[in-house]
Amino acid sequence: MDAVAGPAGKLLPWYRRAQRRLPWRAVSGMSGTPDPYRVWVSELMLQQTRVETVVPYFLRFTERLPDLASLAAASEAEVLALWSGLGYYSRARALHRAARIVVREQNGRFPEDVEGWMALPGVGRYTAGAIVSIAFGKPAPILDGNVARVLTRLYGLRGDPRAGGLNRDLWKLAERILPRRSISDFNQALMELGALVCTPRAPRCLLCPLREDCVANREGLQHHLPELPARPKPTRVVMAAAIVEKRKKILFYRRTRTELLKDLWELPLGECQEGEGPREAVAREALGTYGLTLEVGEEVARVKHSIMNRRITLHAFEAELETSPAGPTAALEGEYRWVSRDGISALAMSSMVRKVLAAKKKSQGKGG
């Protein structure tokens, strides 16, 4: 296949038949050009997150904040609450800051070039290219994991696509194969092919519209390309949390002293030290970190959770206060809150904490 002519002639007809109906995507021939706001929100949500995970969050977010003006006018706490459970909360903060910049400094007009988007918080080269090409039809290349996998297999390229010379070559290649027309559909088609057909494991080569031109398919290299470095072995971690309830309200703390998950609400929790059981760990952490003396009761939930290469088993215990939270003091004022069950959804908290609360509710349902 001629790299200059590119794969558009075969890829675009396939995409128009096979594309998924996603809420941020304009379906070809039906609803026109995608909305820049929805493309932008979706691209930030999709970073390091699967499509099927993102869809319900995207729908909830855009129902409450349907446009740039509403996002800029919202508080950070509301934005974080709507994002709660997706992880990587710096993305939500960057989205919010960027919305305010566009409204305040650019009269509410989105940039239409890569440079303009990259000047905004949270927008890198890939995200800028995706928004400019998909929402505005401008000739900007994209290179995410899906596209890199498609191109390394299609052209039989060796090496780590995320590093050094190969990464630079892939960006140049992604630009060179852009068609003159239908750029929005073409870039989405590359990503869609990687997501649905040219998958990391068990690629569906017989269904690929580019199979006859693919070097990896021809030479049997589908399972060897791209050449990614081995992932580090996961670290097993045991944690413990306390569910402290009083008058039908649960005690939450806001993380203000750490950058990780900063300003999110959490249950009193901590990591088990070597040789320490979860029950002992939660009592120790409650006193040392939160200033609480707890009478730790029965275990009411146990959940699995992954963060990066950490594989966490979290034990959650019912607990009663022997001493109340200190306050209001300079150190603790505003850092804890008693929250009714109906009010929990309005708090920004990690998906791990939400898993604990859901598991406890489920176990109570079985018991009742």
Higher pLDDT, 332 or 152: 152
Q: Do the Cβ atoms of 254 and 264 come closer than 8 Å?
A: yes
Which residues of the chain form beta strands (DSSP E)?
235-246, 249-254, 265-266, 269-271, 294-307, 310-321, 336-340
Q: Confidence class of residue 32 from pLDDT cuts 50, 70 and 90?
A: low
**To the nearest 10°, the Cα dihedral for 48, 51, 55, 58?**
40
274 is catalytic: no
Backbone angles phi, psi at 341, to 5 degrees: -60, -35
**Tell me: the pLDDT tens digits for 180-208?**
999 999 999 999 999 999 999 999 999 99
This model's pTM is above 0.75: yes
- Whether residue 26 is predicted with pLDDT greater than 70 in this model: the reply is no
**Tell me: the pLDDT tens digits for 205-222?**
999 999 999 999 999 999
Q: Confidence class of residue 366 from pLDDT cuts 50, 70 and 90?
A: low
Q: Tokens 């730790």 sit at which residue?
A: 296
Q: What is the pLDDT of residue 158?
A: 95
Looking from the CA of 147 toward its CB, the CA atoms found within 13 Å total: 24
Q: What is the pLDDT of residue 326?
A: 54
DSSP 34-47: PPHHHHHHHHHHHT
Query: Distances from the Cα of 297 to the Cαs of 72, 80, 288, in angstroms?
Result: 44, 32, 19
**Tell me: the pLDDT tens digits for 239-291?**
999 999 988 899 998 876 655 566 788 899 899 999 999 999 999 988 888 88
Q: What is the pLDDT of residue 232?
A: 86
CATH number for domain 8-219, candidates 3.90.1170.50, 3.40.50.1000, 1.10.3720.10, 1.10.340.30: 1.10.340.30
Q: What is the pLDDT of residue 308?
A: 80
**Tell me: the pLDDT tens digits for 305-358?**
988 888 999 999 999 988 766 543 323 434 788 999 888 888 888 888 989 998
Q: Among candidates 234, 260, 254, which has minimal Cα distance to 87?
A: 260
- Whether residue 25 is predicted with pLDDT greater than 50 in this model: the reply is yes
Q: Confidence class of residue 367 from pLDDT cuts 50, 70 and 90?
A: low
Query: Distances from the Cα of 89 to the Cαs of 83, 195, 259, 283, 368, in angstroms?
Result: 7, 24, 10, 28, 36
Q: Do the Cβ atoms of 289 and 270 come closer than 8 Å?
A: yes
**Tell me: the pLDDT tens digits for 56-73?**
999 999 999 999 999 999
Q: Among candidates 217, 172, 210, 178, which has minimal Cα distance to 193?
A: 210
Please tell me the distance from the alpha carbon of residue 353 to that of residue 293, in angstroms, as a whole number. Answer: 21
What is the share, in percent, of the chain residues with pLDDT greater than 90? 69
Domain boundaries, the chain: 8-219, 235-367
Q: Among candidates 253, 261, 231, which has minimal Cα distance to 86?
A: 261
Amino acid at 322: E
**To the nearest 10°, the Cα dihedral for 316, 252, 100, 60?**
50
- Same fold flag, 8-219 and 235-367: no
Q: What is the pLDDT of residue 329?
A: 35
Give me the mean pLDDT over the 152-175 stretch. Answer: 95
End-to-end CA distance of the chain: 65
Q: What is the pLDDT of residue 262?
A: 67
Residues 43, 266, 285, 335: which is the catalytic one?
A: 43
- Which residues share a beta bridge with 1? none
- For residue 64, what are its two tokens? 């409450």
Q: What is the pLDDT of residue 5?
A: 52
CATH fold, domain 235-367, is Nucleoside Triphosphate Pyrophosphohydrolase (3.90.79)
- Mean pLDDT of the residues in the chain: 89
**Tell me: the pLDDT tens digits for 155-166?**
999 999 998 899
